[in-house]
Amino acid sequence: MGHVRSSVALLLLALAGWACSSDEPTAEPTTTAPPVTTATPTTTTTTPTTTTTLSPTSTLPPTTTLPPTTITLPVLTRTAALVATWLTNPGGNTAAVISGDAPIPVDVQSVETASIDGVDYIHVVASGIPGYTHLLTDTDATFLEGRPRAASDFRDGQPLVGSGDTVDFGQDIGYASSGCTDLPGTGYGFWPPGPACPTRQDWDAWFPVEPVEATEPTATGLGAIGLWVNGVAVFNWGDGQSWGNEQVWLNLAPVAEAYDLDVCPGHSAMGTYHHHSHPGCLADDLGDDGSAHSPVYGYAADGVPIAGPWAADSVLARSSWRLRDYDDPDSATGCGIAGARTCLLLDQLDPSAGTVVTDSPGPDTSDFVRSMSGNDISAASGLYAQDWYFDAALGDGSTAGLDEHNGHLGGLPGFAQPTYHYHVTRAHDPDRPGEFVDVFPFYVGPTFWGELHDNALVGGGGPGAGGPGGAGPGPGGPPDFTEAAEALGVTVDAIMAALGPPPPDLEAAAATLGITVEALQAALPLPPRPGP
């Protein structure tokens, strides 16, 4: 893979007490990573040390006296611990398949500390292209072969790979990709019909070293809301689409786009590769097997770490968001008629506030809805953001319990002090022993725990990506295409219809509008590129 943790990772491996609580086992190191050279920090951190005395362990002749051995171990500061979590690429390894005008370096190119107006940041530069190599499991193979539209999704009606095969990120596995042309370097065949193929992003991201809890939490919104430790964009739970395009019942991307993702699972929007839920290929790279507290997987835009799904050995972090029960007409979270989606919760953080009838009812839970990629998906509770509510009783302060932001204060591998962090949330699948299901809000949200700085990485990723803005799951929707419509001489509705579901196919959209791809790209609103 060619990526390693930052140089202080070597020191981390020598430290004890990494588990979420003091009674958890300490993971033993299994590899030795070479040192990594990053950009010169703007600020200098002084690292204190502790002294540990070790007794000799070898058997010696009775007449031999071996003096005690003294080893000095550094105590990592918070800043050093944050730097150590990133997967850097000191050798300049390039993507196995995806390329542009030149080979693209994978993962993170540099990590440094910097101070701006007295505030300390971790500054990260990354290409946005991961160096994933994935070993296909039986579950992967079953999903690929069992796709409901396999006959048309694959060029030969079936995948070119099976269980036990190893595939590089972007490798042709037989899909009839529509988001890019069948040319070298595009990734054609790795993604199902619909998603565009990814391109280099050159993220320039700034994460505060000391996040501060927000007095008025901000909702996670469209596009990027952070970075995974390999430089891939973190997207929230939404896909920007809704039932009947009414922006009332908002799609959850991991459900609505289940057949629009690669095996990692992820896809791109306007070239930005991202994950909406548990990033399985990253979990493999990090060696997160559930035998201890998960390592840091990434960072949200507020600077808060995102840990993987495990809160301790074999203990999954538990989302405190629960499904509404529409099927029981007497349920306090239902709508009085079995299976009907005719009401909304007045407050998703307080279900006791009751419900209100909506003029825009959603599908019954017994229905099936057709995704924009032509796949039929069950409309059972859990398809929309409005299907969930926060149960404060589940955020009970236990090792597994999380708050309304999907985080908690606790131990985190590599950090000396308890640290507030989010968790990727999953649960054991009751219908498939040994398998998991992803649980809302999947890792961050619906609102950030911390304050967002002016240079926070939010919004990058293009139209239709991510979920709505506002205070929690709310109206939100796609970005404003008014200026683009005026520039192109078409209507906003025409642009939205041409772009279709996220991630949009720009070539197909341009053809529908009768313009060039270049003209369309020039007219569309640019995603922000946060900086200092």
Domain that holds residue 25: 4-48+78-126
**pLDDT single digits (tens) 80-112:** 999 999 999 999 999 999 999 999 999 999 999
End position of a domain, from candidates 126, 156, 188: 126
Residue with tokens 């007045």: 346
Tell me, yes or no, whether 259 lies in a domain.
no
Q: State whether residue 463 is helix, strand or coil.
A: coil
Give SS3 for 22.
Answer: coil
Helix runs in 473-516, H state only: 482-488, 492-499, 506-513
**Encoded tokens for 288:** 């997160």
- With a cut of 90, say whether residue 71 has pLDDT above it: no
Final residue of a structural domain among 390, 407, 433: 390
Domain presence at residue 85: yes
Backbone angles phi, psi at 144, to 5 degrees: -60, -45
Nearest-angstrom CA–CA distance, 323 and 331:
11
99, part of any domain: yes
288 inside domain: no
Residue 236 CA, chain-centre distance (Å), reads 7
- The pLDDT assigned to 515 comes to 80
Q: How far apart are CA 404 and CA 10, in angstroms?
A: 35
* For residues 482-497, average pLDDT: 71
Task: Please state, for a pLDDT cut of 90, what percent of the chain lies above it.
Answer: 68
* Residue 516 CA to its chain's centroid (Å): 32
Cβ count near 46 (within 10 Å): 5
Is 530 in contact with 461 (CB distance < 8 Å)?
no
Q: 240 or 504, which is more confident?
A: 240
Does the residue 134 lie in any domain?
no
Domain count for the chain: 2
Find the helix or strand (DSSP H, E) in which 269 lies.
Answer: strand 267-269
In a domain, 342, yes or no: yes
Whole-angstrom distance, CA of residue 238 vs CA of residue 514? 30
The alpha-carbon radius of gyration of the chain (Å, integer) is 24
- pLDDT score, position 41: 38
Residue 490's pLDDT is what?
A: 74
Neighbour tally for 11: CB within 10 Å? 17
User: What is this structure's pTM?
Assistant: 0.77
In a domain, 328, yes or no: yes
Answer positive or negative: Cα dihedral of 396, 401, 405, 410.
Answer: positive
The span from the CA of 129 to the CA of 325, in Å, is 40
Bridge-based pairing state of the strands 166-168 and 133-135: antiparallel
What Cα–Cα distance (Å) separates residue 132 from each residue in 97, 280, 342, 449? Answer: 11, 10, 43, 30
CA-angle at 183, arms to 180 and 187, nearest 5°: 55
Tens of pLDDT, residue by residue over 380-431, are 999 999 999 999 999 888 999 999 999 999 999 999 999 999 999 999 999 9
The identity of residue 240, as a single letter, is G
Neighbouring residues of 382: CB distance < 8 A, sequence distance ≥ 6: 252, 255, 323, 388, 440
Rounded Cα gap, residues 381 and 443, in angstroms = 19
- Do the domain assignments include residue 350? yes
